[in-house]
Amino acid sequence: MDNPRAKLPIGIFDSGIGGISVLAEIIKILPNEEFIYFADTLHAPYGNKPENVVQSLSIKTTEFLSSVGVKCLVVACNTATGAAINEIRRMCAFPVVGMEPAVKPAAELGIKGKILVMATPLTLKSKKFNELIRHYKHRSEIVPLPCPGLVEIIEHGHIHGREIEDYLSRIFSFVNKEDISAIVLGCTHFVLIKEEIVKVMGMEISIIDGNYGTARHLRRTLQNERLLNNGIMEKHKIPLKTNIRFYISRNGKEVIRRCKQLLQNEGIVCESECSHCG
Ligand code: DGL
């Protein structure tokens, strides 16, 4: 018998547009699902705030998405996951999928050299991240690279061009390229500037993010809980069409425009229903 909850949307949140990089991977492997995307642009960036502040913001967002009605929740933010995933899980009667910097797949590549982890200052300070490093340090040398201010540049829509290149050149001037085998993008915003990172660091260094792994983990979770929506199979087409309801806490119209553009760059056309903007 069909599970009636399977027809509900998937809730997904981030401080801003970074979570769209995760959502794009999810839509590609789960084209029959509908989504609610919450971007807390009123409080972005999260990565330079104290942990208890990010915790209470994440809890508020979770309460809101639960009240709107979702069948599961994706915390498309490494910073919020590091600060609040246990509290979020305790609150929810549905499955919750979080994110962590993809150190495991990077270490499993087994390439000689250091693994550089680009993330927000709060992610790199978190207990969760430091446990992750401890777990993999016997395999590879893991070097945290805090990137304060980078999320703000991306939130302002500068994902190409001078400002971002200058920022990256400055931050990478502290590392010796020859020593690095892989860069882990430990913030969902940074996936949006992957091309710029390749430009500055070169093609030889593997650049790894956790987005596809998160999408697969979500699919497995929905399968196990009998929550997959198998209803509308004709959606397996290019361009992929998808329904997303946006809730944006500040500068909504502009943020939605950027989100839709980012999805379109991935071959996804977003037919949003009603959207709610702060
Ligand atoms: N996109 C978020 C992450 O993955 C955080 C950005 C922020 O600092 O708000 O960590």
What's the one-letter identity of residue 206? S
93 and 8 belong to one structural domain: yes
Q: Radius of gyration (Cα) for the chain, nearest Å?
A: 18
Q: Are residues 77 and 8 in the same domain?
A: yes
Domain boundary among 209, 229, 256: 209
65 and 93 housed in the same domain: yes
- CA atoms of 172 and 188, how far apart (whole Å): 19
Instruction: Please give the distance of CA 263 from its chain centroid, rounded to a whole number.
Output: 14
Is the Cβ atom of 45 under 6 angstroms away from ligand 1? yes
pLDDT in tens, 67-84: 999 999 999 999 999 999
Return the CATH number at 187. 3.40.50.1860
- For this structure, is 187 an active site residue? yes
Q: For residue 149, count other CB atoms closer than 10 A to its CB.
A: 13
Considering 72, 77, 147, 270, which one is annotated as catalytic?
A: 77
Does any ligand 1 atom lie closer than 6 A to the CB of residue 62?
no
| C-alpha to C-alpha distance for 36 and 19, rounded to whole angstroms | 12
77, 100, 211: which to mutate for ligand 1, most atoms within 8 A of CB?
A: 77
Residue 32 and residue 128 in one domain: no
Residue indicated by tokens 């705030």: 49
User: Reduced to 3 states, what is the DSSP secondary structure of residue 218?
Assistant: helix
Contact 18 CB / ligand 1 (< 6 Å): yes
Looking at the structure, tell me whether residues 171 and 257 fall in a common domain: no
Angle at 151 between CA 111 and CA 105, to 5 degrees: 20
Q: Examine the domain organization and report whether 252 and 121 are in the same domain.
A: no
Q: For the chain, how many structural domains are there in total?
A: 2
Q: What is the pLDDT of residue 271?
A: 81
Query: How many whole angstroms from 209 Cα to the centroid of ligand 1?
Result: 13
Is the CB–ligand 1 distance for residue 186 below 6 Å?
Answer: no
pLDDT in tens, 207-247: 999 999 999 999 999 999 999 997 655 555 677 889 999 99
Check whether residue 12 and residue 63 sit in a common domain.
yes
Examine the fold and report which residue of 188, 209, 230 is the final residue of a domain before the chain moves on: 209
Residues 127 and 261 in one domain: no
Ligand 1 in contact with 9 (CB < 6 A)?
no
The verdict on 216 and 81 lying in the same domain is: yes
- The reply to whether 147 belongs to the active site is no
Residue 47 alpha carbon, nearest atom of ligand 1:
8
State whether the beta carbon of 227 lies less than 6 angstroms from ligand 1. no
Instruction: List pLDDT tens digits, range 119-146.
Output: 999 999 999 999 999 999 888 999 999 9
Q: Which of 209, 234, 256 corresponds to the end of one domain?
A: 209
Give the chain's mean pLDDT: 93
Instruction: Tell me the torsion sign for CA atoms 233, 65, 37, 145.
Output: negative
What residue numbers bound the domain in which 171 lies?
103-209
Q: Is there a single domain that holds both residue 107 and residue 202?
A: yes
198 and 218 assigned to the same domain: no
CA–centroid distance, 81 to ligand 1, in Å, is 10
Mean pLDDT of 38-59: 98
* Omega before residue 148 within 30° of 0, cis: no
Both 219 and 205 in a single domain? no
What beta strand segments (E) does 120-170 contain?
142-146
